[in-house]
Structure 1
């Protein structure tokens, strides 16, 4: 792709990115509206944790059955009827979700000056998902960074800061899996334009630890459509790759075929590892990608 002006968030923008993830759009339809709706209908449905188990919050009464200990019977409630009732608490075992948001320079690409780079969309999706997960009591963290995944509102700012200050010099990134928690869930968000063997290695390592999750491939519309013709200079964001042609239009079919092959390979790697895959570009709705991603987390439980 033609090189665009680098766009990387600094530390002072972390708070702004957090605000965008939580309140994207006071106008409708906004990411927050979708996220809050999802939180109210899904977190306490499939996802949450609303089922009987160990916890402090009351969930429901149920009729006592053979095998229930007398200590489980709520005698005050039972006194109001001819039947004994057990007071159940809500299951509250928090889950762990680790996020890898590609910090490589290729994510800084935008095919149009009016359109935010891929890194913005990737970070926004990761933070918006974190809002939902943290509201549900989950522990969330970033792969490859010090500190274990944590729960609570304060973690959201730490995540934003980590994404904003985690830039890399490499043109293309590879998923970091060194500190994934066994039998947890993970989300990798990238353009996946680097070496696919590195993605395969990361997924294999994650699967060996019982980790399941989702891959979100974020591309710019220009990368999907290849709207180039005539003399064009293609240069990687880091400048390590450069190619000049006088007839860019002649490359379009071969480029699109190669891109399709790449997407198919990434999707196949995900499927073989028991992960979910989404191809998303920055011209599409961020809301729909968030809803898909949160649902993928549900299926990965």
Structure 2
């Protein structure tokens, strides 16, 4: 997986981190400060300058990735133009990314969520880890409500050292809360990618006549409406939401990628990776 600004490495057979550490390839000198390990002092430089310097190296490491997969009630929606629900599509996307990263010895973990974190699989790089991730993804979506911002903030406070966080969700949440959570991820040094999975019905509202709409996160809420009278208002509200989500992602340097469930899955993946290569 080729990626721009990967926190701890990029995939090209090896992963070379932009963060300084003490590894194989020399990066630069810096002055010694109290508390530095003596074994990292460059004594040859000391002999020439009578000053203590620390040799810094470029750390080579594998990528650490955490997948956050939305399994709330809204992800159960699947229109007539697609063979997949949004959660089906999210499962396939997460599984493919896991397979790719484990194949190149990257470490992957997964957290499924609705209004709370649910299945949690720790980050590992062993090939056998694929089964644990797949098992968590295979669990059926719940019918609970979504709390994207709240869940993300809980997860951000528990994630370990910085890595790549991939969010797979329909993004239907309160924008201000999502913005605070993305800021928290970024402040902790994580690179964040947001795959927004939507059904084409949600993007263009193709309904006509009287239609019964049912809340997938609260089945007690059902309404029969004349779709023609609300179409313009819906599309306007939807575009406002998308514009706001794009804005908070751009402000936090989060890559937002929209994938609709009627698109061939491999086409969506190819376009995404092509986009990432162009940006790098």
Please indicate, yes or no, whether the TM-score normalized by the shorter chain is above 0.5: yes
Q: Which residue of 2 aligns with 1:284?
A: 263
Does 1:208 pair with 2:182? no
2:137 maps to which of 163, 177, 183: 163
Distance 1:209 1:293 in 2: 25
Gapped regions of structure 2 (runs ≥ 5) = 3-8, 18-22, 25-41, 45-58, 112-116
Q: Return the offset for 1:290.
A: 2.1
TM-score by length of 2: 0.70
Cα distance in 2 between the residues matched to 1:295 and 1:96: 22
Q: Normalized per residue, which structure has more strand? A: 2
Alignment deviations for residues 125-164 of structure 1 (CA, whole Å, 9 cap, x no partner): 1110111111121100013454530002211111111122
SS of residue paired to 1:279: strand
Match of 1:187 in 2: 166
CA distance in 2 between partners of 1:141 and 1:228 (Å): 39
Cα RMSD for the two superposed structures: 3.2
Establish whether residue 48 from structure 1 lines up as the match of residue 16 from structure 2. no
CA gap of 1:198–1:165, structure 2 versus 1, over 3 A, is farther
Q: Distance in 1 between matches of 2:79 and 2:102?
A: 33
Partner of 1:116: 84
Query: Structure 2: how far apart are the matches of 1:168 and 1:285?
Result: 25
For normalisation by structure 1, the TM-score amounts to 0.66
Aligned to 1:25: none
Q: Is the 8 A contact 2:81 2:262 kept in 1?
A: no
Residues 51 and 137 (structure 1 numbering): CA distance in 2 closer, same or farther, change over 3 Å?
Answer: closer
**Which SS does the other structure have where 2:192 is aligned?**
strand
Contact (CA 8 Å) 1:203, 1:273: kept in 2 or not? yes
Corresponding residue number in structure 2 for 1:96: 64
Q: CA deviation at 1:214?
A: 0.9
Give unpaired runs (5+ residues) of structure 1: 1-34, 39-44, 56-66, 70-90
Q: Which residue of 2 aligns with 1:242?
A: 222
